[in-house]
Amino acid sequence: MRAAARNMPFLTFCALPLYYYREQRARVRECGWRQMTDRRKKRLPLQTVYYTSFLGLVVVPIVVVLIISLTVLNQVFSTQAVENINRAQEAVASELESDIEQISMRLSHMVYANDNELLSIAAAVDTEDADSRYENQQRLNEAASYATEPVKDIVAVAFYMKDDSKIFFKNEILLPLEEMRREKWYQTAVAGPDRVVVGSYDTNDTRLYSGGTRDSFVLVAALSPDVRLDRSEKIETVTFFQATGASDKIKSYNAGYGQKKNKIGYTRIVDGSGNVVYQPEGIPDGAMVEKGHTRVLTPLAVYGNDWYVESYVRTADLTSDYWSVAGLLLLATTVVLALFTVFSRYFLKRIIQPVQQMSRGLRQVEEGVLDVHLTPAGQYEVRAMIHSFNAMVRRLKALIADYEERVRQGARTMPDYLHALVRGEMSPGEVRSQAAEFFSDRYLLMVVTVGKGEAREGAASHLSVELAQGFDTIPRFASRCTLAVLTPFCFWCITGSGRKIFPARSTIWCGI
């Protein structure tokens, strides 16, 4: 352990270079990747960069926003359609619950009013004496009329006796007593005296009374009186039959949906087990199935029953308004993209394509092709740039042609004119006529002679060249002087004892 502790600084010292090496390599790789990516981006053509930017910054955001908007709108329209169905169902449920409350209150009022007078009269009707039965029946009709005001929606009031006899007010119920006693609501009422129990009949399935209309929904309220209410103990149940306006509302909804005037769907009333309580006529076969449809339920508050207002609507109908709005959005998006496309074509034609044309022209000039002429196109600034490019190419072509002509005719440089002037090959007038710029500035003609009496001609010539190169290395001299080395006449020599100038055969002329 102590040895490891002693070696720890050494190991750390050895590991640090490796760590920094790996870190540096990672940075180099990252920088290299970025540089490579930047180079690739810089090498992309302008048109490709434009299309990529247009696609990434315009088309893709518009499409993404469109998809998100359509998704949200689909959810909103679907939710709104279901809420509309729920509101329609709540209207049916509200009216049905109101009718149930009304029929229950009427039944209770009729039973409990005037110290159970109506029950006493009904019990008195149940007699073998025909005169007494008739007299009591008239009294019952009169008392029931007062107790059930108004009587517009009332179908019938029935008193079912324990001896299987039946007494009716307004209409006679055609259902046999045995069948009536098999109904759940009847059994519940008998099992719990002095409690109102509600049931129903669909006149499409059951003929309740003579002259009754089909396709209506009739509520039934039943109460079984105990001995405190029926002192004669003859009455088994008092039953109240009343048509509800909820059936008319359901039929109106169904007719409107069939005529495509609403999107509420086909509506009916079912119980908690899914059994149909009321279903109006005119519903097509297959319209009340879940396949291809959406099922919407609203519960009802009913005495002793578990009822629901149930609607089936085609799923496509829930989003029909959505598709109308979606179509308008798609049309608007298409128009916007079409306008962007037109703008892109205009931008490409007026700016991008002329710039690309000029780029190709510059590449040709770079390759030495000077027979280039670009047709001006695009916006004013771009056309002006193309005109300048054409003028530049023409000027460059003229300069190169002039230079080549001068080279072909043997044009001389300033040092050549100095050589010819010093050697006497040309006069100052001839030099002025051919190169007026030679005498454009004031100048000083300087002769430098360097040499050694017994030196060889080759060494003197070499020394003259070195001297000339030495002058050329001086910036002030090189920028202001013209140098000419003539045929050696003398040379410059440096001895160990000092500098001596001897007659020589090397001469250097400098025009300053």
The number of domains in the chain is: 3
Residues spanned by the domain of 110: 99-318
Closest CA to 237 of 304, 295, 276, 187: 187
Query: Which among 271, 299, 318 is the end of a domain?
Result: 318
309: tokens are 């207002």
Burial label, 414 (beta-carbon count in 10 A; 0-12, 13-18, 19+): middle
Query: Is 432 within the bounds of a domain?
Result: no
228 neighbors 237 (Cβ within 8 angstroms): no
Say whether both 209 and 289 belong to one domain.
yes
Whether residue 223 sits in one domain with residue 304: yes
Distance separating alpha carbons of residues 237 and 162, to the nearest angstrom: 9
Total Cβ atoms within 10 A of residue 96: 26
Q: Give the pLDDT of the chain (512 residues) as one tens digit per residue.
A: 444 444 444 444 344 444 444 665 655 455 554 554 555 556 677 778 878 888 888 889 999 999 999 999 889 988 899 999 999 999 999 998 888 888 888 888 888 888 888 888 888 888 888 888 888 888 888 888 877 776 567 888 999 999 889 999 888 898 898 998 999 889 999 998 888 999 899 888 888 888 777 888 999 999 999 888 888 888 999 999 998 889 899 999 999 998 988 888 999 999 888 889 899 988 888 888 888 889 999 988 776 678 899 999 998 888 888 888 889 999 999 999 899 888 888 887 788 888 888 888 888 888 888 888 888 887 888 888 888 888 998 888 888 887 777 766 566 677 777 777 777 777 877 777 777 766 666 555 555 555 544 445 556 566 666 766 666 666 655 555 666 665 443 323 222 333 333 333 334 444 33
Q: Do 335 and 385 share a domain, yes or no?
A: yes
Does residue 427 form part of some domain? no
Are the beta carbons of 311 and 289 closer than 8 angstroms?
no
Same domain as 325, residue 279: no
H or E stretch at 439: none
Q: Which two tokens stand for residue 292?
A: 């291809």
* Residue 62 placed within a domain: no
Instruction: Tokens 């002793």: give the residue.
Output: 304
Confidence at residue 72, expressed as pLDDT on a 0 to 100 scale: 92
Instruction: Please indicate, yes or no, whether residues 272 and 131 belong to a single structural domain of this protein.
Output: yes
Regarding whether 350 and 285 lie in a shared domain, the answer is: no
206 within domain boundaries:
yes
- Out of 318, 340, 363, a domain closes at 318
* Cα Rg of the chain (Å, integer): 59
* 214 lies in some domain: yes
Q: How many CA atoms lie within 13 A of 145 on its CB side?
A: 7
Instruction: Based on the fold, state whether residues 212 and 301 are members of the same structural domain.
Output: yes
How far is residue 384's CA from residue 233's CA, in Å, rounded to a whole number? 117
Q: Is residue 86 part of a domain?
A: no
216 lies in the same domain as 146? yes
339 shares its domain with 353: yes
168 part of a folded domain:
yes
**Pair (131, 264) in one structural domain:** yes
Question: Residues 362, 365, 369, 375: is their CA dihedral positive or negative?
Answer: positive
My answer on whether 392 and 305 are in the same domain is no
pTM score = 0.59
Do 155 and 200 fall within a single domain?
yes
In a domain, 242, yes or no: yes
Contact 241, 156 (CB under 8 A): yes
Quick one: which H or E segment has residue 360? helix 353-366
Residue after which a domain boundary falls, among 275, 292, 318: 318
Give the DSSP H/E element, type plus range, for residue 310: strand 307-314
